[in-house]
Amino acid sequence: MRRTVVINGRTIGDGQPAYIIGEVGINHNGDLAVARKLIDVAVWAGCDAVKFQKRTPDAVVPPDQRDRMRETPWGYLSYLEYRHRVEFGYPEYVEIDRHCRDRGIDWFVSPWDEESVDVIEQLNPVAYKVASASLTDHGLLRHIRATGRPVIASTGMSTMEDIDAARKVLGDDNLALMHATSTYPCPPAELNLRMITTLRDTYDCPVGYSGHEVGLPTTVAAVALGANLLERHITLDRAMWGSDQAASVEPGGLARLVKYVRTVEQALGDGVKRVYDSEQPLIERLRRVAPAQRGPSTSSS
């Protein structure tokens, strides 16, 4: 039997509804009011969780990029200044934790460095997410795993060898893997949704899909291929400033996505052929020949 993961009392795996995550990431642009609105949108649409990204800018921004200047809504800033501008600290996450608890939705983060894990760990998150960019950072993986919390690991920009090495570091317990292609937005030809099946056949853990495409149909298709978890970036408006906004889903689209996913889950059924009661009147009205009656099997020697 395929393994399951339990997040905040919710069992995730085969035979269970997909765990749908609204990826806020940094689409809040450092504005706590926007973050609250995005949490509210996720609740309204029917998501199970929201996810943020947490970085310690001085630890994760490479030295050769720190002084690069860029246009931002707050003026012409160095990349390091920009990273500080959009980053939430402990006080903001205290408020995020309070708001999510009030609204009854799970929340967690993708920590990009060990210090970020330590900050978020003070708030007892329900899980941690490993970003695709961090999958080969085995030191960070060990630090996350040492918390004892469930781990969801994205596999974008990674080879099967990278995934297998990360899985060995993280272990099999309380682990879920997410297929992803780390292009924003990702063209359909590079989504490679059949990788969901490959990961399911290779690893004995729940497998999900983290999509960065434009539109909803391919994300819904991931459920038909067996995805146990789904993640899409969410935004209040795709025209907002930010690198992830264009590949994000707006509120109305998010509500439709959740509705479509739940409809497909109902439609998949159990694979056992049966005649439904609703078909019986049609049998009586439309069939010219009654089904053959099966008697006991016979054999001759």
Q: Give the domain CATH number at 117.
A: 3.20.20.70
Does residue 162 fall inside a structural domain? yes
User: What is the C-alpha separation between 208 and 2, in angstroms, rounded?
Assistant: 13
Which pair of tokens denotes residue 220?
A: 């819904």
User: What is the C-alpha separation between 19 and 85, in angstroms, rounded?
Assistant: 31
User: What is the C-alpha separation between 105 and 217, in angstroms, rounded?
Assistant: 25
User: What is the C-alpha separation between 101 and 269, in angstroms, rounded?
Assistant: 33
Count of the separate structural domains present in the chain: 1
pLDDT in tens, 193-203: 999 999 999 99
Identify whether the C-beta of residue 247 lies closer than 8 Å to the C-beta of residue 185: yes
pLDDT in tens, 52-63: 999 999 999 999
**Where in the sequence is the domain holding 267, given as residue range(s)?**
15-286
* Predicted local confidence at residue 290, as pLDDT: 81
CA torsion angle 238 241 246 252 (round to 10): -20
Does residue 1 fall inside a structural domain? no
Does residue 295 fall inside a structural domain? no
301: pLDDT strictly greater than 50: no
Does residue 126 fall inside a structural domain? yes
Does residue 87 fall inside a structural domain? yes
Query: Is 0.85 surpassed by the pTM of this model?
Result: yes
DSSP type of residue 187: P
Does residue 152 fall inside a structural domain? yes
Among residues 5, 7, 4, 6, the alpha carbon closest in space to that of 126 is found at 7
Which amino acid makes up residue 118? Answer: D
Does residue 272 fall inside a structural domain? yes
Does residue 2 fall inside a structural domain? no
pLDDT in tens, 80-99: 999 999 999 999 999 999 99
293: pLDDT strictly greater than 80: no
Crossing angle of helices 251-268/32-45, nearest 10°?
30
